[in-house]
Amino acid sequence: MADAPQPQAPPRRTRRRFFWPGGLSARLLILTILFVSAAGGTILPPALAAFEEQWLLDRVRAAELATIAPDVAPDRVVSEALAAQLLEGAGVQRVAIQTEGMRRLVLQGPKLARAPYLVDLRDQAPISWLAAPFQTLMGGGEGRMVRVIAEPRIRKADFIEIVAPDAALKRELTRYLWQLLLVMAFVATMAGILVYLSLAFFLVRPMQRITHAMERFRADPDDPASHLEPSGRRDEIGRAEVELDLMQADLRVALNSRARLAQLGEAVAKINHDLRNMLTSAQIASERLAASRDPKVAQALPRLERALDRAVKLATDVLVYGKTQEAAPDARPMPLAAALEMAAEEARLSPETVRLEAQVDPADQVVADPDQLHRIVVNLLRNAREAVEQQEGRSESGVVTVALAQAEGATLIRFSDNGPGVSARAREKIFQPFAGSSRPGGAGLGLAIARELAQGHGGDLVLAETSETGSVFELRLPGAPPRLKPKRTRAKSS
């Protein structure tokens, strides 16, 4: 029987993107040219309007000068030939002057074929002033004339009026428009190139450098070429470089920790299986050696037992931290002094090596899970003892002092030692798993487990103080239970 056809997954829908040529550099170049061109477009109408106004005023002034000839001529009359020369020199076809309300035609050319349109330069609205050049350019027809009225400068009159061909104005205006467009295109291109080069140097190239570093880091986080060295800039680009460098460093640490955890998880099963057999054999051998009366064996036996204990502790810490989640704490009031005594015994504190100085009254209580509190205190006391024992050139005995205080509904337990303190390098990662141990052979899990258990109670574990004369860890637990009441004893009857 043939297998039934498997349903195919629907095709993945991709988002359509608007086509935009090139990378960031090309986009910036195109946008700069467009913006400069748009800015030039706002200048174009007033420039054309000013050019047209000036062209018409030039014709008016030339015609005004031409009107002086009839005043100096005999009988104030000029010949037709002279009038034609004066009109041609001024570039107009008619000139009229109004004085004291009387309009007089001073120079007259050929008869007009069509009525001219009016442009009054004495009082123009801004909109009509800006629109006039485009009306001239779009106006068609041969023989089109423009009638211009303006205030005179040389003569004393109400106004001077001329009629000039529209074709000459349109021709000059078109030429000026092309000049403006060429200048605008040149300025826009040069501005675009300058802005492009500036942005490419100050923005695009640093962004490309950051992008390439991110791509290389994504492909291979361990590649040395993916490391981005900050350039030292103090702007947003410099901040982005610094943040990327810090992010890469943090991610490398996280990836290394995950890789280490993955390798550890693969090896834990083997360790758990084989370690029991090895420890069983070692314990049997240790028991047999304990029966021996050889003084050398008796001298070496304690070191063997300590080595076995360290192996058991390391395996236990790894297995405990390898759990996906700690059990929820069963918190209840319990005396702290008794818990300190049991934890000190397991952490191997003794008057001969490192002694415990508990400044805790037997009636003082804390709210905690007994088993989890025991693990927290054991880890703290054991770390303090090992730090004191490994300090070179030490003359005084080691002391771990534990004090209790209650404030604002919480309990604060301070663990102080007179060891060498925590180095600045180890201080940053002291609570990180596999990174906080400075002891040879240590797994770096004790403080990580202790803090995780403290936070599970709703409290926390912090390194409050550290120096060359010792360290102080503070364990904060929620709740401030009352002290235990002393038990009453009945008086014996006589």
Give the pLDDT confidence of 60-102 residue by residue, as tens digits. 888 888 888 777 666 666 677 887 888 888 888 888 888 888 8
Judge whether residue 320 has pLDDT over 80: no
With cut-offs at 50, 70 and 90, classify the pLDDT of residue 10: very low
Alpha-carbon gap, residue 431 to 473, rounded angstroms = 12
Alpha-carbon gap, residue 471 to 417, rounded angstroms = 6
With cut-offs at 50, 70 and 90, classify the pLDDT of residue 222: confident
Joined together, the tokens standing for residue 228 give 């981005």
What mean pLDDT is predicted for residues 363-388? 90
**What pLDDT does residue 76 have?**
65
Judge whether residue 303 has pLDDT over 80: no
Can you point out the beta strands (E) in 409-459?
Answer: 410-417
Residues 207, 211, 215, CA angle at the centre, nearest 5°? Answer: 175
Q: What is the mean pLDDT of the chain?
A: 79
With cut-offs at 50, 70 and 90, classify the pLDDT of residue 208: confident
Yes or no: say if 322 and 270 are a contact pair by the CB < 8 Å rule.
no
With cut-offs at 50, 70 and 90, classify the pLDDT of residue 275: low
**What pLDDT does residue 30 have?**
80
CB atoms within 10 A of CB 176: 16
Residue among 300, 322, 320 at smallest CA distance from 312: 320
Alpha carbon separation from 207 to 24, 132, 200 (Å, rounded): 10, 49, 9
Query: What tens digit of pLDDT does each residue of 158-194 get?
Result: 899 988 888 888 889 899 999 988 988 888 888 778 8
Yes or no: say if 280 and 311 are a contact pair by the CB < 8 Å rule.
no
Query: What tens digit of pLDDT does each residue of 405-464 get?
Result: 988 889 999 999 988 888 888 887 788 776 555 555 455 677 888 899 999 999 999 999
Residues 6, 10, 16, CA angle at the centre, nearest 5°? Answer: 160
More confident position, 333 or 195: 333
The dihedral sign for the CA sequence 274, 278, 279, 284: positive
**What pLDDT does residue 317 have?**
59
More confident position, 15 or 408: 408
Judge whether residue 205 has pLDDT over 80: no
Q: Which of 26-35, 55-64, 259-268 has the highest mean pLDDT?
A: 55-64
**What pLDDT does residue 401 have?**
94
Query: b/e for 210-241, b at 16 or more Cβ within 10 A?
Result: eeebeebbeeeeeeeebbbeeeeeeeebeebb
Judge whether residue 13 has pLDDT over 60: no
**What pLDDT does residue 75 have?**
62
**What pLDDT does residue 417 have?**
93
DSSP helix/strand/coil, 56: helix
The answer to which of 16-30, 224-238, 341-355 has the lowest mean pLDDT is: 16-30
Alpha-carbon gap, residue 121 to 367, rounded angstroms = 96
Yes or no: say if 471 and 419 are a contact pair by the CB < 8 Å rule.
yes
Joined together, the tokens standing for residue 408 give 């604002």
The DSSP 8-state label assigned to residue 419 in this structure reads S
Query: What tens digit of pLDDT does each residue of 93-147 get?
Result: 888 888 888 888 888 888 877 788 888 888 888 888 888 888 888 876 677 888 8
Judge whether residue 326 has pLDDT over 80: no
What mean pLDDT is predicted for residues 198-227? 78
More confident position, 393 or 377: 377
**What pLDDT does residue 197 have?**
81
**What pLDDT does residue 1 have?**
40
**What pLDDT does residue 183 have?**
87
More confident position, 423 or 326: 423
With cut-offs at 50, 70 and 90, classify the pLDDT of residue 403: very high
Judge whether residue 481 has pLDDT over 60: yes
Amino acid type, 26: A
